[in-house]
């Protein structure tokens, strides 16, 4: 369907009519000399005398060509656009931030892969997250890594391959040996504030208790609740561990409960995979449906037609005009 974004330009079509009405036709006067031997000159030349004034009429084809050219220019000024059929788009309605613990204890090789080989906790988490992300088509993903402090490894992005590459580059102790759980939640909240989606989910994976945060985890969870961020906590490792590396399940469960999420414990690879499958079921991919009509500018079409008319037709009109003038003066 053709639409004009500047339809007021069509008022310019009246300009030639106004000029024709307000401006008088061009007239040219010439001096003449009356001589007593005029009749003798007529007899000698053999020509028949005619009136001295002549009005050269514009040819119909010239008038039509000029009018067509003006209409084409006005049509281009009206900015025609071709509007296509409505197109439906699905846009992600969820931003999903994953926070991964890179403290020293994530190097513990107490997980067993499918081939029976011992692997460390971080490697096990990376493998499961690869599977988890594969089913999150449409979600924007972000990545936070934390140790002594929390760092944004990847802002929210639709490019899941780049996200996975940044996850793969993360190594144990890269952010320090401690566990800044509360700071990771706070950093996630700060980035969720820049998000335009209302469905905001944070998944925290850790194998210890908070040992270095400036913001206590429970205080950060209270803020997350106000900001509408749902937190799921995933504890990896042996829940019976004691000391500084012991799992603080009470804090993890409280953080999840305060924000409307859930808390999970994964002591082996199978349990870890099942945990993310459960989270995937609790937070299915969400989309917003958008509709738009593609628009294509078409002003170049009348401009091109005018150029063709000017280059080809106008010289033809000029040639016809010269022939007409010669015919008048003969």
Strand (E) positions, the chain? 2-4, 80-83, 87-92, 94-101, 111-112, 118-119, 140-146, 150-157, 199-206, 229-236, 263-266, 287-292, 295-297
- Averaged pLDDT in 10-residue chunks for the chain of 330 residues: 86 83 65 68 70 53 77 89 75 81 86 84 90 83 94 92 94 88 95 86 87 88 94 82 68 93 85 83 63 81 86 67 52
Torsion of CA 88, 90, 91, 92, to 10 degrees: 170
Q: Whole-prediction pTM value?
A: 0.60
Model pLDDT for residues 56-103, shown as the tens digit of each residue: 555 566 677 778 888 988 888 888 888 878 776 666 657 899 999 998
Answer for the pair 321, 329: CB distance below 8 angstroms, yes or no: no
Spatial separation of the C-alpha atoms in residues 194 and 221, rounded to whole Å:
18
For the record, the structure tokens of 1 come out as 């369907």
Q: Compute CA distances 315 → 66, 312, 318, 321, whole Å.
A: 12, 6, 5, 10
> What single DSSP character describes residue 103?
S
Residue with tokens 């206590």: 216
Residues facing residue 89 across a β-bridge: 290
Return the pLDDT at 247.
Answer: 74
């Amino acid at each position: 369907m053709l639409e004009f974004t500047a339809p007021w330009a069509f008022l310019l079509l009246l300009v030639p009519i106004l000029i024709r009405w307000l401006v008088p036709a061009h007239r040219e006067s010439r001096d003449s000399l009356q001589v007593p031997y005029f009749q003798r000159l007529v007899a000698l030349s053999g020509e028949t005398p005619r009136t001295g004034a002549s009005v050269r009429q514009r040819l119909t084809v010239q008038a039509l060509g000029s009018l067509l050219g003006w209409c084409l220019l006005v049509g281009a000024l009206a900015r025609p656009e071709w509007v296509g059929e409505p197109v439906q788009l699905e846009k992600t309605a969820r931003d999903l931030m994953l926070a991964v613990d890179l403290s020293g204890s994530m190097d513990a090789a107490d997980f067993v892969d499918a081939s029976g080989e011992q692997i460390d906790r971080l490697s096990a988490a990376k493998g499961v997250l690869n599977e988890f992300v594969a089913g999150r088509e449409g979600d924007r993903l972000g990545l936070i890594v934390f140790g002594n402090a929390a760092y944004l490894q990847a802002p929210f992005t639709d490019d899941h391959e780049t996200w996975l590459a940044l996850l793969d580059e993360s190594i144990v102790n890269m952010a320090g040996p401690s566990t800044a759980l509360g700071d990771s939640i706070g950093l996630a909240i700060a980035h969720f504030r820049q998000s335009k989606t209302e469905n905001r989910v944070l998944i925290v994976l850790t194998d210890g208790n908070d040992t270095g945060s400036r913001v206590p985890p429970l205080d950060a969870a209270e803020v997350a609740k106000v900001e509408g961020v749902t937190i799921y906590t995933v504890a990896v490792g042996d829940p019976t561990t004691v000391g500084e590396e012991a799992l603080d399940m009470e804090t993890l469960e409280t953080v999840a409960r305060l924000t409307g999420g859930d808390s999970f414990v994964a002591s082996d690879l199978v349990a870890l995979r099942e945990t993310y499958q459960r989270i995937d079921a609790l937070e299915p991919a969400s989309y917003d449906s958008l509709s738009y009509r593609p628009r294509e500018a078409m002003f170049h079409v009348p401009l091109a037609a005018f150029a063709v008319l000017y280059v080809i037709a106008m010289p033809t009109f000029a040639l016809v005009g010269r022939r007409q003038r010669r015919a008048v003066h003969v």
